[in-house]
Chain A
Amino acid sequence: MTLSVRAWLQREAFTLDVDIGLPREGVTSLFGRSGCGKTTLLRIIAGLERVRGAEVRFGNEVWQERRRFVPLHRRRIGLVFQEHSLLPHLSVRGNLLYGYKRTPKEIRRLHLREATDMLGIGELLDRPIDQLSGGQRQRVSLGRALLTSPQLLLLDEPMAALDTQTKREIMPFLSRMASEAQVPIVLVTHAPDEVERLADRVVFMRDGRVECSESLRQALARPDSPLFADDGAASVLEGVLGPVNEHGLRPFGVESARLWLPSEDSVPSGQPLRVRILARDVSLALDDPRRISIQNHLRVTIERIGPPRDGRSVVATRTADQQLLLAEVTPWAVQKLGLEPGMEPFALIKSVALMG
């Protein structure tokens, strides 16, 4: 816990009151609805919002305390905003190098070539920025931030302005960056799928306060998690994707808990990935049905059966490799099948979303 922030701020009807510590590694997501204060908190960390009395520390560095205030350009923070943050009077190359040139040689860890390769923007270098698509712009913004070799990356809803297609195009770059860049990342978002795909830790915010801060695993283990507010409960399984077989399917995960996914050519084999499975796409059966169109049948162990809510219960199960898989069934089905903890039914999984 080495990025700590304490701040109190009153602005018209809005009050921000936070006192949190965040790990200085991995991806921490600030999650909440619009207006919950997550962007303000990010701006306080960045030093863009100078709130009186706030305290911000990063490791041994004091960024803000009493009269002491380190301005943003001395904090070595990479910032990526929602949209339109490229400098319009510079080309792609000019944007990428703006921060690189201002980074002392001895602390540069990444160079232009590596950044453009990693983000696939090598061919855009000499374009003016008004000729880029939304996705390309965001990749250039990411590259530009990384090229300053920052000690902290702050991403303020970097995908909120992108359409679903473009978002799918950007996501792999972001998760690659998260795993390769070796920089702690704070990601502000209101999209559960971004958290589930990218985050290691989630800070839930509401009405200017931190509701709770927990690991992604913990956040996904409780059925009332705010991450489930829109799509209902969901599980995230981790595994490695294999090569395409003769039926056009790719294996995912260990053999005892294997899922088959429709071919996604863009994703290379052999990398650790996450898949997202909505609980409402998982049914439970006592026998393994053979004559059924659903491909993925896993033997699971029931751990807990949640209380009925809106006419449905969320059943928490463990796969053979001990990963949590949630299934949504009606209380009537629980009764009819006699489901109880310890039983080993088959989970029939209708749909799996690959998250890279």
Chain B
Amino acid sequence: MLGLGPADWQAIELTFKLCLYTTIILLILATPVAWWLANGRSAARVAVQSVVALPLVLPPTVLGFYLLIVLGPRGFVGGTLESIGLHHLAFTFEGILVASVLSSMPFAVQPLTEAFNNLGRRPVEVASSLGAGLWDRFFTVILPLTRGGFVVAATLTFAHTVGEFGVILMLGGSIPGETKVLSVLIYDHAEAMNYEAAHRLSLMLVIFAFLTLFVVYSITRRFRVAKV
């Protein structure tokens, strides 16, 4: 189909899995972080905000390099895992999942922070005074009122993870079915002078990226209008 070989399909499936897991994990992690950034009073907020945004400015190789050290067999995390009888995370799917979560963090945290800033504290205070506890408030007030922010965060995270390359190459290498995602496969195709295969996959990604951004921008626009 579409002239794609089994290796291509394997990479597509792996990429999809990686993006889906990353998005789910990040929405769960980013929500409390973004809430704290939007509503907290702590002086540590600026520091945390900067750390979260680091992947935006660092070369992916830097992040990948440090992760390789930390998650590898002699690293703090990898070594600990080995010592309790588990496998270290370098060159594994779990490893590139951790990497994707970290490097896509700003794409989840920033839209949510903005949505929570726009929401303000009032609706939540009102819900508390009406007897709603923490989870109740989240699902009946915060989530319905910041839906747009969550959709944007999820879409951007998913799309950015599709485009992940440097970190994955540094940390995961190119193991079929384990770490060989689309971006890496395209690189491999090009390296092997198989331009036709590289072109097919690249064009797919261009179209996918365009559609994603199109969706995000139309949501952002509707979201703003609805806020006024």
A81 to B130, CA, bound (A): 13
Interface assignment of A89: CB less than 8 Å from any CB of chain B: yes
B83-125 residues with Cβ-Cβ distance < 8 A to A are: 122-123, 125
Q: With a CB–CB cut-off of 8 A, which chain A residues contact B50?
A: none
Inter-chain contacts of A102 with B (CB < 8 A)? 130-132, 136
Give residues of chain A (94-115) contacting chain B, Cβ–Cβ below 8 Å.
98-99, 102-103
Distance to closest chain A CB from B214 (angstroms): 26
CA distance A31 to B136 in the complex (A): 35
- B144: chain A residues at CB < 8 Å are 89
Tell me if B145 counts as interface (CB < 8 A to partner A): yes
Sample of 17 more A-B contacts, CB < 8 Å, known A71-B128, A73-B128, A99-B129: A72-B125, A73-B129, A73-B131, A73-B133, A81-B125, A85-B122, A87-B126, A87-B141, A89-B141, A98-B132, A98-B140, A99-B130, A102-B131, A102-B136, A145-B129, A148-B130, A148-B131
Q: Is the CB of A79 within 8 A of B145?
A: no
B81 at the interface (CB under 8 A from A): no
Q: Closest B-chain residue to A100, C-beta based?
A: B130
Q: Report A-chain residues with C-beta under 8 Å of the C-beta of B70.
A: none
Quick check: B129 and A78 within 8 Å, CB to CB? Answer: yes
| 16 A–B pairs (Cβ distance < 8 Å), ordered by A | A46-B129, A71-B133, A72-B128, A73-B127, A73-B129, A73-B131, A76-B131, A77-B129, A79-B126, A85-B122, A87-B127, A87-B141, A87-B145, A88-B123, A99-B129, A148-B130
- Is A297 among interface residues, defined by CB-CB distance under 8 A? no
A33 interfacial contact with B, CB 8 Å: no
Select from chain B the residue with minimum beta-carbon distance to A144: B130
Q: Mark A138-162, 1 if CB is under 8 A from B, else 0.
A: 0000001100100000000000000
Q: At the interface, is chain A mostly helix, strand, loop or mixed? A: loop
Which residue numbers of B lie inside 8 Å of A, CB to CB?
122-123, 125-133, 136-137, 140-141, 144-145
- Which B residues touch A73, using CB under 8 A? 127-133, 137
Tell me if B129 and A87 are in contact (CB < 8 A): no
Expressed in whole angstroms, the Cα–Cα distance for A103 and B132 within the complex equals: 10
Query: What residues of B have a CB within 8 angstroms of the CB of A48 in the complex?
Result: 125, 128
- The answer, yes or no, to whether A127 is at the interface (CB within 8 Å) is no
Residues of A within 8 A of B140 (CB): 98
**Footprint of B on A, CB under 8 Å?**
46, 48, 71-73, 76-79, 81, 84-85, 87-89, 98-99, 102-103, 144-145, 148
Q: How many Å lie between the Cα of A87 and that of B128 in the bound state?
A: 12
- How far, in whole Å, are A98 and B125 apart by their CA atoms in the complex? 13
* A48, A72, A88 interface centre (most CB from chain B within 10 Å): A72
B131 A99 Cβ-Cβ under 8 A: yes
Give complex CA distance A180, B140 in Å: 31
Measured between beta carbons, the chain B residues less than 8 angstroms from A84 are 122
* Nearest opposing residue in chain A for B129, CB measure: A79
Q: How far is it, in angstroms, between the C-alpha of A144 and the C-alpha of B131 when the chains are bound?
A: 12
- State in angstroms the CA–CA spacing of A158 and B76 once bound together: 57
A145 to chain B, nearest CB (A): 7
Q: Give complex CA distance A72, B133 in Å.
A: 9
- Closest B residue by C-beta to A97: B130
What's the nearest-Cβ distance from chain A to residue B228, in Å?
Answer: 10
Q: Report the separation of the CA atoms of residues A99 and B125 in the bound assembly, to the nearest whole angstrom.
A: 12
Whole-angstrom distance between the alpha carbons of A73 and B132 in the complex? 6
| Bound complex: CA A221 to CA B204 (Å) | 82
Q: How far is the CB of A39 from chain B (nearest CB, A)?
A: 12
Q: Please report the C-alpha to C-alpha distance between residue A102 and residue B137 in the assembled complex, in whole angstroms.
A: 12
B145 touches A89 (CB 8 A): yes
CA distance A98 to B136 in the complex (A): 11
Q: Give the shortest distance, in Å, between A137 (CB) and chain B (any CB).
A: 12
Tell me the complex Cα distance, A84–B125, Å. Answer: 12
Q: How far is A148 from B133 in the complex, measured between Cα atoms in Å?
A: 14
Residues of B contacting A145 with CB < 8 Å? 129-130
Q: Once the chains are docked, how many angstroms separate the CA of A81 from the CA of B127?
A: 12
- Among B123, B126, B128, B141, residue most surrounded by chain A Cβ atoms (within 10 Å): B126
Chain A residue with minimal CB distance to B123?
A87
Question: Hey, which chain A residues are within 8 Å of B133, CB to CB?
Answer: 71, 73
CB neighbours of B136 from chain A (8 A) = 102
Are the C-beta atoms of A72 and B129 separated by less than 8 Å?
yes
A72 to B131 alpha-carbon distance, docked (Å): 8
Residues of chain B within 8 A of A89, CB atoms compared: 141, 144-145
A73 to B141, CA, bound (A): 14
A88 touching B131 by the CB < 8 A rule? no
Q: What CA separation (Å) do A84 and B145 show in the bound complex?
A: 14
- Asked whether B131 lies within 8 Å of A103 as measured between CB atoms, the reply is yes
Residue of B129, B136, B140, B141 with most chain A CB atoms under a 10 A cut-off: B129
User: What A residues does B131 contact at CB under 8 A?
Assistant: 73, 76, 99, 102-103, 148
Contacts of B127 in A (CB 8 A): 73, 87, 98
A103, closest chain B residue (CB): B131
Is the CB–CB distance between A88 and B128 below 8 Å?
no
CA distance A77 to B125 in the complex (A): 11
A78 CB contacts on chain B under 8 angstroms:
129
Smallest Cβ-Cβ distance to B133: which chain A residue: A73
Chain A residue, CB-CB nearest to B121: A48
Contacts of A85 in B (CB 8 A): 122-123, 126
Distance of A46 Cα from B124 Cα, bound (Å):
13
Residues of B within 8 A of A87 (CB): 123, 126-127, 141, 145
